[in-house]
Amino acid sequence: MNRQVAEAEDRANRLFEQQEQRKAEMKAAIERSRQLQINRKKAQKDSVKREEAEFADFWQVRNEEL
């Protein structure tokens, strides 16, 4: 009887540890995804700013030529 109880506790503990590990992996994946999204948005903003600056420089040079 005691052996069966011990085996059941071991199974329950292993299951709990597996669930906790999966939970930690999912949290890590969510955090990585969030960071990648932040980086993409920042890169997109930087790209837009760079394009606007290039556009402004182009027209400034163009107006100076005229």
DSSP string covering 1-66: -HHHHHHHHHHHHHHHHHHHHHHHHHHHHHHHHHHHHHHHHHHHHHHHHHHHHHHHHHHHHHHHH-
Q: Up-side HSE of residue 52: CA atoms within 13 Å toward CB?
A: 6
Q: Which residue has the higher pLDDT, 1 or 11?
A: 11
pTM of the model: 0.66
Give the residue numbers spanning the domain of 44. 1-66
Structure tokens at 39: 């980086």
pLDDT digit string (tens) for 10-42? 999 999 999 999 999 999 999 999 999 999 999
> Percent of the chain having pLDDT more than 90?
88
Instruction: Name the domain count of the chain.
Output: 1
